[in-house]
Amino acid sequence: MKFRTLEWKSGALYLLDQRRLPNRVETVICRNPDQVSEAIRNLTVRGAPAIGVAAAYGMALAASDRSALPDAGGVLKSSRPTAVNLAWAVDRMLTKSAELNGAAPADLRAALEREAIAIHNEDAEMCKRIGEFGAPLLANGMSVLTHCNAGALATAGIGTALGVIYTAAAQGKKLHVYAGETRPVLQGARLTMWELMQEGIPATLVTDSTVASLFAAGKIDAVIVGADRIARNGDVANKIGTYNIAVLAAHHGVPFYVAAPRSTFDDKIATGADIPIEERSATEVTEIGGQRLAPQNAVVYSPAFDVTPSQLITAISSDTGVELGGRS
Ligand code: MRU
């Protein structure tokens, strides 16, 4: 990729500031776990796998004081509740620190830094495998709809849904991507379009409300999206609006694919009904770029994610293979 979403340099976490893209390419530097937590909360870094990797580095930054690790973990976990990768990464760092009970502070710090780097590298590797398993789902000449950003900006590698597209394109398949803008904070318009244009993948931006008419016109051959959490029964939480698209895809007989690493599967959750759904601040809906659109004091409901039931999912491509969904 032509950019780095996250980088660990000289004991600090460098994040590409996704709030500013595509107009400004800037970096935010985090030197303590509170700064990492704030960067996750305010969407400087976003996307389930990327916030997991960021949280792992947040724990490494807390390691100079062993007794502070559980609290730092709690703060990091609470920064965004839906993507399970965040809790998964924090718990893995806490397990590593427990294994090092009695280690000297410098040894604990070094070991937690190594563990965070391992989580980072493993995520990049998982993206590669998701792409390899998923690429056969996309045939030459297809037009593919995606939602939000499940690309390199959302992971430590080539992405999940976009990783499948990049891998298929690298195999010589000619694909065209429709990117839904993804209200309210426009990850599709700002981030997916920026990524795809940099990578030379032909892409067209559409408003979220255009999608139904694209299906009706027969312009979409497949849908591929990422996931924030996958329940045991195969229900998938992803960016708000994903469920709408899944209903449309089923109605029009178009396959609906999900791409996600194993770190997004939550074995503790039986069905999508148990997945906690984050609510975002009203200003993300009432304002765009700081410009007020809705009347002052307008009442807003803004869930960041919805749940697509397994019956609407054709297949899930993960780093261990392609599993059929309930619509297969
Ligand atoms: O609110 P965001 O931008 O973090 O939402 C991201 C998504 O919904 C992605 O589709 C999901 O995290 C998968 S990213 C590989």
Distance of CA 67 to the CA centre of its chain: 31
pLDDT at 178: 98
Average pLDDT over residues 86-98: 97
Cis check: omega of the bond before 22, within 30 degrees of 0: yes
Q: Which atom in ligand 1 lies closest to the alpha carbon of residue 264?
A: 13
Q: Looking at ligand 1, which atom is closest to the CA of residue 260? A: 15
| Contacts of residue 200, Cβ cutoff 8 Å, sequence gap at least 6 | none
Domains of the chain: 6-129 (1.20.120.420), 131-324 (3.40.50.10470)
Mean pLDDT of 204-222: 98
**pLDDT (0 to 100) of residue 289:** 84
Atom of ligand 1 nearest to the CA of 46: 4
User: H or E element: which one contains 73?
Assistant: helix 69-79
Query: What is the maximum span of the chain, computed from C-alpha positions, in angstroms?
Result: 65
309 has a pLDDT exceeding 90: yes
- Residues with catalytic roles: 228
Separation of 282 CA from ligand 1 center, angstroms? 19
Q: Is the pLDDT of residue 10 over 90?
A: yes
- Bridge partners, 323 (sequence order): 316
Atom of ligand 1 nearest to the CA of 278: 1
Task: Give percent above pLDDT 70 in the chain.
Answer: 100
How many A from CA of 225 to the centre of ligand 1? 9
Which residue has 């019956």 as its token pair? 311
Q: What's the 45 CA to ligand 1 centre distance in angstroms?
A: 10
Q: What are phi and psi of 159, to 5 degrees?
A: 100, 175
Q: Give the integer Cα–Cα distance in Å for 286 and 197.
A: 29
Q: What is the mean pLDDT of residues 70-75?
A: 98
Answer whether residue 59 shows pLDDT above 90: yes
278, 43 Cβ separation under 8 angstroms = no
Give the residue-averaged pLDDT of 273-297.
Answer: 96
Query: Which pLDDT score, from 0 to 100, does residue 325 have?
Result: 95
Q: Is the dihedral of CA 18, 300, 86, 241 positive or negative?
A: negative
What pLDDT is attached to residue 39? 98
End-to-end CA distance of the chain: 33
Counting from 1 in the atom list of ligand 1, the atom nearest the Cα of 239 is: 8
Torsion sign, CA atoms 152, 129, 122, 235? positive
Question: Which residue from 128, 129, 153, 187 has its CB within 8 A of the most atoms of ligand 1, so it is best to mutate?
Answer: 187
Query: What six digits make up the tokens of 108?
Result: 């604990």
Task: Report the separation in Å between the CA atom of 236 and the middle of ligand 1, taken as the mean of its atom positions.
Answer: 12
Show the ligand 1 pocket: residues with CB < 6 angstroms: 46-49, 83, 148, 150, 154-155, 160, 187, 225-228, 238-239, 304
Q: What is the pLDDT of residues 242-254, one digit of tens each?
A: 999 999 999 999 9
Question: What is the per-residue pLDDT for 318?
Answer: 98
- For residues 139-150, give the mean pLDDT: 98
Q: Name the pairing type of β-strands 229-230 and 287-288.
A: unpaired
Ligand 1, atom 15, lies closest to the CA of 150
CA–centroid distance, residue 150 to ligand 1 (Å): 6
| Mean per-residue pLDDT of the chain | 97
Residue range 267-296: average pLDDT? 96
Query: Cis (ω within 30 of 0) for the bond into 184?
Result: yes
**Ligand 1 binding pocket mutation candidate from 148, 191, 240 (most atoms within 8 A of CB):** 148
Tell me which of 238, 258, 266, 285 to substitute to probe ligand 1's pocket, judged by most ligand atoms within 8 Å of the beta carbon: 238
pLDDT for 134 beyond 90: yes
278 pLDDT above the threshold of 90: yes
Q: Is the pLDDT of residue 1 over 90?
A: no
> Does the pLDDT at position 110 exceed 90?
yes
Say how many Å lie between the CA of residue 198 and the centre of ligand 1. Answer: 20
